[in-house]
Structure 1
Amino acid sequence: MSLFWRIFLLNGAVLILAATLLLGPVTVSTPVHLGQALVIAAGLAAMLLANAAILRIALSPLQRLSRAMTTADLLHPGTRSRVTGPGEIADLITTFNTMLDRLENERATSSARILCAQEAERRRIAQELHDEVGQTLTGVLLQLKHTADHAPAPLREDLHLAQETTRAGLDEIRRIARRLRPGVLEDLGLASALRALAAEIDTPRLRVRHHLGPDLPVLDPETELVVYRVAQESLTNVARHAVADRADVHLQASDTGVELVIRDNGKGIEGAPEGAGIAGMRERALLIGAELSVRTGPAGGTEIRLDAPSDVVEGTP
């Protein structure tokens, strides 16, 4: 029976009951006596309460579906509305759940393509920075050195200063290229790449310590890259926003693969909305079937935890 006819017949039953009472034991005279007015008012209140209860019971599945629609988030997949209620409502909930399945699959596919293209573009830019800009600055350094060796003494100091500025620019170009394309990850593996990343972020203002567990499982290249990018984004956020002076990077084996935990002693994220960086980490985690959680650490600050499986075959970041 459709929702319209259910509500129509239930309300009709209430009205028929009221009419039966008026035609039977309940009578109304003119003018209306106080007792009759009280009986009519009580009957009207009872009908309204009964009608409200009937509608709430009939429409409660739609209210649950509305809450599910409001809270649905493709970055937190797997949440589905429970299929309850009569035919039309159950069909509507089932259709909504099917739509969420399709949207999550389409988002995963499109995100995989986007992140794959992003990584390819990063590799291309890093290669051009290293080959083109790096070689050009190296040539400038050699020219400056040659000119400084043959320049008059008054100009030599300025040329040496230009050399140091050029050398600093060359070092910065190389650092950017390493962040865009983690060669250490490709050549030496995840553990060495995390050590290098911690050493790069470590400064007198922010001390970064790494704790790498023994007997780490072998991960496929896609999973290693996701773990590395999550660690990179997390430490970058700590350096830029956390107002922290200490960060810890933990990587250890878990029952399903590896567990990456990054904690800091900064101001934390209590009440702060998730930015594009955390959203990007969630998308990367979804591609390899990993679980990412961002919360307040045991001693304050922020804790980012990534549980990555070691047997992923599909999903390329």
Structure 2
Amino acid sequence: MPLFWRIFLLNAVVLITATALLLGPVTVSTPVLLTEAAVLTVGLAAMLVANALLLRVGLAPLQRLTRAMNTTDLLRPGQRPAVTGRGEVAELISTYNTMLDRLEDERATSSARALSAQEAERRRIAQELHDEVGQSLTAVLLQLKRVADHAPPELREELSPAQEITRSSLDEVRRIARRLRPGVLDELGLIPALKALATEFGGPGLTVQHRFGPDLPDLGPEAELVIYRVAQEGLTNTARHAGARRAGIALRRVPTGVELRVHDDGRGLGDVAEGAGIRGMRERALLVGADLTVGPADGGGTEVRLAVPVPVRGPAPVRVPALALAVPDRKH
């Protein structure tokens, strides 16, 4: 039954009941007596309460749908309001759930394309920094050394700061190139890349420890890149905003796949809203169907957990070697 007719019939039942009472035991005289006015007031209040309760019951699924619409976040997929009610209300909730499925699929596809283009651009910029700017600074550094070797002592002292600035600039360019596209991830794999990341962020003010499980499964290049980027962003937030003295990276195997854990002993998140860095981590997690949680760590600080599922692969097919059959020559 359509929603209009359900509400109409509910109100009609209340009005018919009130009319039947007026035609039956309840009467009104002229002028209205005090007792009759009290009875009418109580009856009107009862009608209003009954009408409000009936409307509340009939419109409750729509209110739940409104709350779901206000709290839905496409970066946290899978949240769906339960299909309750009947007729048009149930159809509306089902249509909304179907729309969420389509929006999540479209967002995942567009995010994958955008992040793929971003990684390609990072790779190009890192390559240009390494090949063009890095080689130019290396040539300048060698030229300064050659000039300093043949210069008088007083001029050699003036060239020394220029050499140090050039050497520091070369190290900074190389560091930026490594952060844009870590070559160790492509060449050596995920674990050496995470160890290099911990060494890069570690220093006098921040100690970064790492712990990796011995039986990690094969994740594939996309999942490894997502894990590396999430760890990189987590340590970047720790170094910039947490004010922490200790941080850690842990990667271990779980029944559903692998779990990355980045934690620190800093000041924590507090009431600060999620920024672009955390939302970027959530978008990357969606690319591989991972679940990302960011919250307080045990004992204070912040903890980032990334649960990456590993698809179950069936046994490899048994390959039967081909047999070379010797065919005897036939003499005609």
Q: With structure 2 as the length reference, what TM-score do the two structures score?
A: 0.92
1:303 equivalent in structure 2? 303
> 1:88 and 1:74 mapped to 2: Cα distance?
25
2:44 equivalent in structure 1? 44
With a CA cutoff of 8 Å and minimum separation of 6, indicate the structure with the bigger relative contact order. Answer: 1
2:61 equivalent in structure 1? 61
Equivalent residues in 2 for 1:184-263, closer than 5 Å: 184-263=184-263
Which one-letter code corresponds to 1:227 in the other structure?
I
> 1:289 and 1:180 mapped to 2: Cα distance?
24
Q: The residue matched to 1:112 in structure 2 has which SS? A: helix
* Displacement after TM superposition at 1:311 (Å): 2.9
> 2:87 and 2:69 mapped to 1: Cα distance?
19
Unmatched tracts of structure 1, length 5 or more = none
8 Å CA contact 1:263–1:302 kept in 2: the answer is yes
2:289 equivalent in structure 1? 289
1:182 equivalent in structure 2? 182
Which one-letter code corresponds to 2:109 in the other structure?
T
8 Å CA contact 1:223–1:310 kept in 2: the answer is no
2:318 equivalent in structure 1? none
> 1:167 and 1:271 mapped to 2: Cα distance?
42
1:15 equivalent in structure 2? 15
Q: The residue matched to 2:208 in structure 1 has which SS? A: strand
* Displacement after TM superposition at 1:259 (Å): 1.0
8 Å CA contact 1:289–1:309 kept in 2: the answer is yes
* Displacement after TM superposition at 1:268 (Å): 0.6
Identity %, equivalent residues:
68
Equivalent residues in 2 for 1:100-139, closer than 5 Å: 100-139=100-139
* Displacement after TM superposition at 1:272 (Å): 1.7
8 Å CA contact 1:267–1:300 kept in 2: the answer is yes
| Backbone CA RMSD of aligned residues | 1.2
8 Å CA contact 1:220–1:312 kept in 2: the answer is no
Q: Provide the aligned length of Structure 1 versus Structure 2.
A: 313
* Displacement after TM superposition at 1:209 (Å): 0.6
Which one-letter code corresponds to 2:185 in the other structure?
L
Cα deviation, 1:62-121, whole Å, max 9, x if unaligned, reads 001001101110011001111111211111101100000000000000000000000000
Runs of 4+ in 1 over 4 A off after TM superposition: none
1:171 aligns to 2:171 (yes or no)? yes
8 Å CA contact 1:256–1:310 kept in 2: the answer is yes
8 Å CA contact 1:247–1:262 kept in 2: the answer is yes
Which one-letter code corresponds to 1:138 in the other structure?
T
Does 215-224 or 102-111 show the bigger shift? Answer: 215-224
8 Å CA contact 1:220–1:310 kept in 2: the answer is no
> 1:88 and 1:236 mapped to 2: Cα distance?
50
> 1:142 and 1:199 mapped to 2: Cα distance?
28
1:159 equivalent in structure 2? 159
> 1:148 and 1:165 mapped to 2: Cα distance?
15
> 1:167 and 1:285 mapped to 2: Cα distance?
38
> 2:154 and 2:312 mapped to 1: Cα distance?
64
* Displacement after TM superposition at 1:213 (Å): 1.5
User: Which of these two proteins has the greater Rg computed from alpha carbons?
Assistant: 2
Q: The residue matched to 1:166 in structure 2 has which SS? A: helix
